[in-house]
Amino acid sequence: EADIYQTPRYLVIGTGKKITLECSQTMGHDKMYWYQQDPGMELHLIHYSYGVNSTEKGDLSSESTVSRIRTEHFPLTLESARPSHTSQYLCASSEWGQEVYTFGSGTRLTVV
């Protein structure tokens, strides 16, 4: 039973479109994360949040933005999608003081 949900699972869109990838968790976790994963590659942290109204950029530079208005919700937005944004995006959460992450099933984004 998934406690962290990502929608959509798959998305194919045209260049220049604005998109929002949704991530919600029902565990009340303070910390949330977005990772980008190219096929056959490791995960790279692109955004994280300590809690409501907290957002930070991760190790990998990304043109995406995030917001954290509610504890359970951590959406990722691309204002103008490009083919270079084609990737899988994984959302995760954890409790403060714990480093055990729960991952969502991911959104596989293709920009054509």
Partner 1 sequence: AQSVTQPDIHITVSEGASLELRCNYSYGATPYLFWYVQSPGQGLQLLLKYFSGDTLVQGIKGFEAEFKRSQSSFNLRKPSVHWSDAAEYFCAVGYSGGGADGLTFGKGTHLIIQP
Interface residue list for partner 1 (CB under 8 A): 6, 31, 33, 35, 40-43, 45, 48-50, 56, 58-59, 90, 92, 96-97, 99-106, 108
Place of tokens 């942290």: 45
Q: How far is the CB of 16 from partner 1 (least distance, A)?
A: 27
Shortest CA distance to 93 belongs to which of 47, 51, 31, 37? 31
Rank residues 39 and 83 by Cβ distance to partner 1 and give the closer one. Answer: 39
Rank residues 58 and 75 by Cβ distance to partner 1 and give the closer one. Answer: 58
Q: What would the two tokens of residue 76 be?
A: 């990722």
CB-CB contact of 94 with 102 (8 Å)? yes
